[in-house]
Structure formats: structure tokens, C-alpha cells
Amino acid sequence: MPDGDEHWNAVLADMLVSMKLGTGHVKLVGDLISVTAQLDMAARPRRHPFALDSLIEYDEKIGPLEDEYRAAWQAVRAEPDRERRAPGLQRLLVALEAAVQGTVDFARKQGVEVRVHRFGDAES
């Protein structure tokens, strides 16, 4: 990794080890990591993983979703107590759900079937 560059999953890793989040958030972080990994693994054997148009579409659709959960996470981290974090936690939950669904939708549009594990749910 180049000097000073943050790994693209650093924010998700930070969320996983935080005591500020509930199990619903952690489950969604797990789902997001999982569907992203499934998409990456499906693209890997291809000579050219995705066409340029698909990469642009990914950046245009998924980039804002990633920006939203990152911003929501920063807002949660900035609040000193549980009561003040509550609105940010709800925003984060919605943002993570949108990121999971957006990644699933993009993958399926590319012909990649991904499975959302819904970690911790009875049917997983």
C-alpha cells in the first residue's frame, strides 16, 4: 500500500471493532464486505474484469453510497455519548443498507450472482 493511503476497507474495519455500534450495524458491515468480496472474486478470472463503462457506473452509483456511510460513521464517532449518537446511528444503518443493496444490484446487473448472508439471521 502506498505511503499514507488508507485501505479501502479501513472504515468498515473500524466499525467492526467499535463499541459504538449495535449488532444490526455489524451485520450490515459483514454483508457489505461479503458482497463486495463476491463481486471482486467473480471478476478476477476474467481477462478484463469489467468494461470501462461498468467501472464508471460502479464509481457513479457505489461511490456516493460509500461516501454516505463514511460520513455517517464520522458523525457517530464525533458524538461523545449514546444519546447524541442515536440519530447518526440511524443514518449509518440506512447508509449501510443502501450500500449493500447498491452493490448487490450492480453485481447482478453485471451478471454476477451474489448472496447476501444476513449474518446472524436464522436463515443464514
Q: Distance between the two ends of the chain, CA-based, in angstroms?
A: 34
For residue 122, pLDDT over 60 is answered with no
For the chain, the domain total comes to: 1
Angle at 68 between CA 66 and CA 74, to 5 degrees: 105
Instruction: Give the contacts of 118 (CB within 8 A, at least 6 positions apart).
Output: 27, 31, 124
Domain that holds residue 59: 10-109
Is there a domain that residue 121 lies in? Answer: no
**Model pLDDT for residues 76-107, shown as the tens digit of each residue:** 999 989 899 999 999 999 999 999 999 999 99
pTM: 0.84
Residue 119 resides in a domain: no
- Whether 45 shows a pLDDT value over 50: the answer reads yes
> Looking at residue 24, what is its pLDDT?
92
**pLDDT given for residue 41 in this prediction:** 83
